[in-house]
DNA sequence: GACAAGATTGACT
DNA sequence: GTCAATCTTGTCC
């Protein structure tokens, strides 16, 4: 497979050790990284950190349940859940095992030529502009083809359908931060991070 | 078993 | 800016 337009270098899987810190520390470091799912590739431009039991806005706040079990797994797993009965949202599990910390992926810049993205556009006739294809947690999953079946995928595993990678170049962006979006509790924590000036962020 | 809530999105006014 | 869609999960009785 030929690498899509927009990559700066060769894709190297992210070392799991980088994900084993607390979510608010890991989150800004994920900006600029590349998420590959099957033959679709996106550069991460917006994330939100969710802590463990001490974060009232986190799914882990009420402890481990059937739905959030993946969140309590090892760092580097993909935690997927259904939001509002309609959309799928994707997180990267961080921190130590059993802590329940994760980083929500809110927006990516899809990489590839217009031709590469034709199937994505076909799935989303409402998104007229390229920047509208993956500028939100639900849209990101749809654009990259992430489903609930991908819950528990090891993003640091070489053979996984979904992997988290560097593309070899040092980040050139500035990181902006602010309060998280769409939550009703613990709104005071500025744990949303995005690439300053990027047109691909959700809001 | 019943019910309420939700880390969203897109259509409509 | 407002609001409905949609359905799974967790909680309560």
Cβ of A121 less than 7 A from strand C: no
Q: What residue is closest to C10 (Cα–C1')?
A: A65
List Cβ neighbours of A67 (8 Å cut-off, separation of 6 or more).
Answer: A59, A81
CATH number, domain of A38, equals 3.10.300.10
Q: Which nucleotide is nearest to A104 (CA to C1')?
A: B7
* Residue A200 falls inside a structural domain: no
Closest CA to A80 of A134, A41, A37, A71: A71
Average pLDDT over residues A178-191: 91
pLDDT exceeds cutoff 90 at A88: yes
* Residue A7 falls inside a structural domain: no
The domain tally of chain A equals: 1
Closest CA to A104 of A187, A46, A33, A167: A46
Q: How far apart are CA A151 and CA A123, in angstroms?
A: 21
pLDDT of residue A172: 80
* Residue A25 falls inside a structural domain: yes
Q: Which nucleotides of C are covered by protein (CB under 7 A)?
A: 5-11
Cβ of A68 less than 7 A from strand C: yes
**Interatomic separation, CA of residue A85 and C1' of nucleotide C4, rounded (Å):** 13
pLDDT of residue A96: 96
Cβ of A70 less than 7 A from strand C: no
Q: Which tens digit of pLDDT belongs to each residue from A11-64?
A: 889 999 999 999 999 999 999 999 999 999 999 999 999 999 999 999 999 899
Which residue range forms the structural domain that includes residue A102?
A: 12-195
pTM: 0.94
* Residue A106 falls inside a structural domain: yes
Q: Which nucleotides of B are covered by protein (CB under 7 A)?
A: 5-11
pLDDT band, very low/low/confident/very high, at A184 (cuts 50, 70, 90)? confident
Q: Which two tokens stand for residue A184?
A: 């009703």
* Residue A1 falls inside a structural domain: no
* Residue A4 falls inside a structural domain: no
Which residues 78-107 in chain A have a CB closer than 7 A to strand C? 82, 84-86
* Residue A6 falls inside a structural domain: no
DSSP assignment of A5-47, as one string?
Answer: TT--S--EEPPGGGGSS-HHHHHHHHTT-EEEETTEEEEEEEE
pLDDT exceeds cutoff 70 at A1: no
Provide the 3-class DSSP secondary structure of residue A62: helix
Cβ of A83 less than 7 A from strand B: yes
């Amino acid at each position: 497979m030929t690498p899509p337009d927009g990559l700066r270098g060769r894709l190297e899987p992210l070392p799991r050790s980088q994900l084993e810190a607390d979510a608010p520390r890991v989150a800004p470091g994920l900006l600029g990284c590349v998420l590959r799912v099957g033959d679709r590739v996106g550069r991460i431009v917006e994330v939100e950190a969710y802590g463990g039991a001490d974060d009232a806005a986190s799914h882990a706040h009420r402890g481990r349940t059937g739905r959030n079990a993946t969140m309590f797994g090892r760092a580097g797993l993909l935690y997927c859940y259904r939001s509002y009965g309609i959309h799928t949202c994707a997180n990267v599990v961080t921190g130590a095992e059993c802590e329940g910390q994760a980083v929500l992926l809110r927006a990516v810049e899809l990489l590839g030529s217009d031709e590469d993205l034709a199937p994505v556009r076909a799935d989303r006739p409402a998104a007229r502009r390229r920047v509208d294809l993956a500028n939100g947690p639900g849209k990101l999953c749809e654009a990259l083809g992430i489903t609930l079946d991908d819950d528990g995928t090891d993003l640091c595993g070489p053979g996984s359908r979904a992997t988290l990678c560097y593309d070899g170049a040092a980040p050139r962006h500035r990181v902006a931060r602010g309060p998280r979006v769409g939550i009703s509790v613990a709104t005071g924590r500025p744990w949303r991070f995005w690439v300053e000036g990027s047109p691909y962020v959700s809001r």
